[in-house]
Chains A and B, each alone.
Chain A
């Protein structure tokens, strides 16, 4: 029997047998991918910071004109809550509570993700309305390069949750489905982490 902790993050545990052992390589590979993705976000953050100045604004709408902090606060709470609910799904999987609880918590996560996206899209629409579009200034280009990139990741995560719910029904809790949900969990929490950065640097930074 291998050591019970085979990779960083939540492990399925030795009682899952093959799925647990497969996860060693699969989860590690996914961590490496996330590191690579993190570099992309890091560079987008760096670009945003270098553009958030009068030169980058080029006389166009600035943070105070374009951002709706109330809406962003609600989005933050929703996304943080979705990380908690995904955690519940992961625990239900680890402790083999059956497909019902896993499906339930994944559905709640999906709904929270979609709620987050719809609020965000509403904010984007507002920005377009007041002329805060990427073609207006370097600063706005940097914003539209960073925040919608996160939204795109959340949308991909939502699609992934839907696919996993279908695969859970079609295949049952086979090892491949379990290790995929495990990796989806890493992805989802990663998106939360990025959002903390966006909330702090982009939105709270605008108050300074």
Chain B
């Protein structure tokens, strides 16, 4: 075998030219330098991370307590960490794009191809590797606590879901170092992403990162649905479930039914690219409209999958920080279910202009407008919850107010776009970009960031710094407004989306306003990092180990912060909706049980990590045509999976006396502490024990 053949066999189509540093040396334009800088940032970030863990001496802890853990709380935290790291990249990419367009009159500093890569990775990352892992992470942590369960139904599958999501994120990050990511947008429409037009590794990176992460999300959906249906504590009927759990149930149902279309679409595209199939090609009977239908059959339910849990977070935090029972609980449940069902009936509004008859368009247009009805119900329910409540303007409430104002505007522009005649005018312009950022940032991002602030003390035993949190929230609210409201106007003025540069000087002033907004959003990102840093440093004075810093209403607050591995010493007996609020009012909270029992918990396993590493290698092998590695990685996954089925003892027992000791220690702390009123909520006197404050005003419900 001659050396060339050997290299080809070993490395496939991977070559020195795949490294981004070379073009930057050969041709040092700004665009190439930005690409090389991003690659350098990934390398430095990885080295920094490794050095930090080594400095902490935490490799063993990392492996034993985190990476191999099947604890839903640990897995949830890892999901959130992954999402926040990816968010840093996604936000910075957005800022680079805003900078390019701000100075993009007749040029700018990025090549069109580089700009295309940026909007493709930005979209892919923000949807699949920021919003989804944040939701799944929060749900992982909170749902079992809210329903009074010890863990998810399938803890090992949970770990594998995380592994596959991390695989997808890793592939997107590696694409900065090796080869180039797709330029086909986050929707990757063929035939542009087909082999004839785009034979390079870019679309393959997109396919495998999304397909593998999508499989993980399908499994998460199955896991959440089964957990919520089967693991609820005694007395926790469906209509006693906290609203966040309801919204996660709806999201889980969407995951089970809407992720398969994504799997099908990506694998068909892969078959076209790798095996010369003709699903979506121009020639030989391919039909690219099938791709568009399949993709949006996933893509539309997906956006509701993102926003519905954010509604759930707002439902929890608004009720808590208003000191009231949620207004219109049943109507919120029905509205959520209605949105989840309707989300499957509107996918065609993403391509009104792609050739259907007017009658088909109008059916989907009306269905899309209908979604505004249940969403409106929700907004009124939340406002009625706040009405005459014991309101504290904490960080989640600031996010909630921003959400009310901004999300309603985003929703109304959605109703505009649901009208096919308007869609014909503004499709493919920045109006659309403004609309979907206007629902996703105030809806999903604000919801999840307020959830992060609200539940952080539960997960780590200390509150986040309130001042930096308020600054972050305000920076997000104003940053969003300055960035995206100008884009509505630019869309009406006719500026197409996804354009690296433009020739009409009329666009420039508004582009500069948007640039200013992007700077505010980058400051918000910095503020989040500073908030975390300050909070960790001041964790002594922010500590709330007793578990109930906000006078919470639902079961997750009825245990210590952070909760023990097994969540509850004895499973709670649920007697009411908002059971913990009811328990505190009736004096049945913080009681010592008559007897403690042994608890059976799942063992750690390295299966998730084996699958994560192997599937990352599998993805890389497929991207670069390294067939031996693809076969090897698939083999490892199959063998590891089958070998796991031969392990019969997968649980361990925590003895009753250990549990009794831990529980009594926590109860002793509770009885020794002084309860604090809501006025002292954000002071260091707050150790997580709330004094009883019953609603007194006539307007308060019940």
Task: Tell me the interface secondary structure of chain B in the complex.
Answer: helix
A157 interfacial contact with B, CB 8 Å: no
Q: Contacts A57-B285, A58-B285 known; A32 to B225 CB distance under 8 Å? A: yes
A7 to B, closest residue via Cβ: B230
Q: Which residues of A contact B231 (CB under 8 A)?
A: 25
A86 interfacial contact with B, CB 8 Å: no
- CB <8 Å contact, B284 and A145: no
- CB <8 Å contact, A145 and B271: yes
- Choice from A43, A137, A180 contacting B261 with Cβ under 8 Å: A43
B267 to A, closest residue via Cβ: A145
Interchain CA distance A47-B256 in the complex, whole Å: 20
The distance from the CB of B15 to the nearest CB of chain A, in whole angstroms, is 27
With A24-B230, A29-B153, A47-B279 given, name 17 new contacts (CB 8 A). Answer: A28-B229, A28-B230, A32-B222, A32-B226, A36-B256, A36-B259, A39-B260, A40-B263, A43-B261, A43-B294, A50-B290, A51-B287, A55-B285, A58-B285, A134-B271, A138-B285, A167-B645
- CB <8 Å contact, B294 and A25: no
Q: Which residues of B contact A44 (CB under 8 A)?
A: 264
Q: Which residues of A contact B225 (CB under 8 A)?
A: 32
A-B contact count (CB 8 A): 107
- CB <8 Å contact, A176 and B290: no
Interchain CA distance A44-B231 in the complex, whole Å: 34
A175 to B, closest residue via Cβ: B648
Q: Which residues of A contact B257 (CB under 8 A)?
A: 35-36, 39
- CB <8 Å contact, A139 and B260: no
Q: Contacts A134-B277, A167-B646 known; A141 to B153 CB distance under 8 Å? A: no
Q: Which residues of B contact A32 (CB under 8 A)?
A: 222, 225-226, 256
- CB <8 Å contact, A138 and B153: no
Q: Which residues of B contact A58 (CB under 8 A)?
A: 278, 283-285
Kindly list the 9 A-B residue pairs having the minimum CB-CB distance in the complex, ordered from nearest. Answer: A138-B285, A58-B285, A39-B260, A135-B276, A141-B277, A56-B285, A29-B226, A137-B285, A58-B284
Interchain CA distance A132-B389 in the complex, whole Å: 70
The distance from the CB of B279 to the nearest CB of chain A, in whole angstroms, is 5
Q: Which residues of A contact B281 (CB under 8 A)?
A: 138
Q: How many residues of B contact A (CB 8 A)?
A: 39
Q: How many residues of A contact B (CB 8 A)?
A: 39
Task: Tell me the interface secondary structure of chain A in the complex.
Answer: helix
Mask, A9-30, CB within 8 Å of B = 1, is 0000000000000001100110
Interface centre among B153, B272, B285, B297 (most CB of A within 10 A): B285
A207 interfacial contact with B, CB 8 Å: no
A33 interfacial contact with B, CB 8 Å: yes
Interchain CA distance A51-B272 in the complex, whole Å: 15
Q: Which residues of A contact B271 (CB under 8 A)?
A: 134, 141, 145
B230 to A, closest residue via Cβ: A25
Interchain CA distance A181-B287 in the complex, whole Å: 41
Q: Contacts A28-B229, A39-B257 known; A33 to B277 CB distance under 8 Å? A: no
Interchain CA distance A28-B153 in the complex, whole Å: 11
Q: Which residues of B contact A163 (CB under 8 A)?
A: 642, 645
The distance from the CB of B407 to the nearest CB of chain A, in whole angstroms, is 30
A104 interfacial contact with B, CB 8 Å: no
Mask, A107-133, CB within 8 Å of B = 1, is 000000000000000000000000000
